[in-house]
Chain A
Amino acid sequence: MSAVEEAANEAPAVEAVPKRAMTLGYGTSLVVLALLIIVPMFLKNFFVFQLTMLLIYALAVLALNILTGGSGQFSLGQSAFYAVGAYTSAILMEHMGVNYALTLPVAGIICFGFGFLFGQPALRLSGIYLALATFALAVAMPQLLKLGFFEHWTGGVQGLVVTKPDAPFGLPISQDRWLYYFTLVVSIGIYIASVNLLKSRSGRAFMAIRDNEIAASAMGVDVALYKTLAFGVSAGITGVAGGLGAIAVQFVAPDGYTITLAISLFLGMVVGGVGWLPGSIVGSAFIIFVPNIAEHISKGLSGAVFGVLLFLVIFLVPHGARQVAMVAQQMLGKLKKN
Chain B
Amino acid sequence: MELFTNQVLAGIATGAIYACMALAVVMIYQAIDHLNFAQGEMAMFSTFISWQLMQWGIPYWWAFLATLIISFAGGIIIERLLFKPLAKAPVLTNVAGFIALFAIVNSVAGLIWDFTIKQYPTPFGSSPFLGSQLISTHQAGMIGVTVGLLILLYLFFQFTRIGLAMRAAAAMPESARLVGINTSWMIALGWGMASAIGAIAGILIAPVVFLEPNMMGGVLIYGFAAAVLGGLTSPLGAVVGGFLVGVFENLAGTYIPGVGNELKLPIALALIITVLVLKPAGLFGRPIVKRV
Contacts and interface: CB of A to CB of B under 8 A. Distances in A.
B107 A301 contact: yes
Interface of B is mostly: helix
Contact of A314 (B100, B102, B103, B266): B100
A149 interface: yes
Given A8-B88, A125-B277, A140-B269, A306 B93 contact: no
Interface in B83-123: 85-86, 88-93, 95-97, 99-104, 106-108, 110-111
Interface in B222-266: 224-225, 228, 232, 258-259, 262-263, 265-266
Contacts of B100: 306-308, 310-311, 314
Interface in A11-68: 11-15, 68
B272 interface: yes
Report the interface size class on chain A.
35 or more
B35 interface: yes
Interface string A119-138: 00100110011011101100
Nearest to A131: B35
A300 interface: yes
Contact of B280 (A129, A144, A320): A129
Nearest to A132: B228
B290 to A, nearest CB: 7
B171 interface: no
Contacts of B269: 132, 136, 139-140
A59 to B, nearest CB: 20
A68 B96 contact: no
A143 B228 contact: no
Most buried by A among B34, B93, B108, B111: B93
A270 B111 contact: no
A125 B90 CA distance: 20
Nearest to B282: A129
A310 B90 contact: no
A124 B274 CA distance: 10
Nearest to B224: A132
Contacts of A133: 273, 276
A134 to B, nearest CB: 10
Nearest to A124: B277
Interface of B: 34-35, 82, 85-86, 88-93, 95-97, 99-104, 106-108, 110-111, 221, 224-225, 228, 232, 258-259, 262-263, 265-266, 269-270, 272-274, 276-277, 280, 290, 292
